[in-house]
Amino acid sequence: MKVSARYVLAFAGAAVVGIYLHELGHAVAGWVQGIGVFPSPAKEYILRSQVDWNQETWIALGGVVGTILTTVGAMLYFVRARSLTAEAVLFGALLPAWLYTIRFFLKGRGHDGTEWQAAQTALGFAPGGHAIDIFFACLLLAGVILWGCRLRLPVRYTFLRIVSVILGGTILLVALQAGNNRFFDRFFPSTQVVNTPSGLDPR
């Protein structure tokens, strides 16, 4: 199986950009509320010592919206271009949804902390439910079906490529998150969310 450097760069670039747009979504939702938020490559930092739960719900939802827009954009690009580069971009954009879904099945919550619960509150769903977990699982499934309808290469090569993408992508995002936190956490103090509902499950 031969994978070109262009394919790898397109995949990694889409994954990294997708994560950043998730953080940028958080930041935009904060800015709209007049709250300073710094979007680092893999984490948003709220520039206040504390925020109210009602403000946090919209900041959390902004990240979800950022990931959705990125993924849908990659799907549209894939439909239009139908090339290996477009496939790499699609896989990179789907990587967060893949990790959220796997984490959901393994730990019962697609995102650590209470981010999903806050975003669900903003949407009017029960904060302790799994509406966003299910949505990302469906988004991932839609992307896989879309890709499968355009599949042209022999199955054996495709399987090896998918395994490489999953393993390599997972390592990439874990390394990005760890490196980001190690570098940026020292500059930004943590923010306390006040008036948080009781009974939330920060897994």
pLDDT in 10s for each residue of the chain, 203 residues: 456 889 999 999 999 999 999 999 999 999 999 999 999 999 999 999 999 999 999 999 999 999 999 999 999 999 999 788 999 999 999 999 999 999 999 999 999 999 999 999 999 999 989 999 999 999 999 999 999 887 665 555 677 778 888 999 999 999 999 999 999 999 999 999 999 988 887 77
Is 200 contained in some domain? Answer: no
Domain count, the chain: 1
d(CA 56, CA 81) in angstroms, rounded, equals 38
Is 203 contained in some domain? Answer: no
Is 197 contained in some domain? Answer: no
Report the amino acid identity of residue 27: A
Q: Crossing angle of helices 155-184/5-32, nearest 10°?
A: 50
Q: What is the pLDDT of residue 1?
A: 47
Q: What is the domain extent for residue 15?
A: 5-188
Is 167 contained in some domain? Answer: yes
Is 183 contained in some domain? Answer: yes
Is 61 contained in some domain? Answer: yes
Is 193 contained in some domain? Answer: no
Kindly state the tokens that stand for 199: 């009974």
Kindly state the tokens that stand for 111: 């995102």
- Residue corresponding to tokens 């747009």: 21
Is 196 contained in some domain? Answer: no
Runs of H (alpha helix) within 108-154: 115-123, 131-149
Q: For 86, which DSSP code?
A: H
Check: CB of residue 129 under 8 Å from CB of residue 120: yes
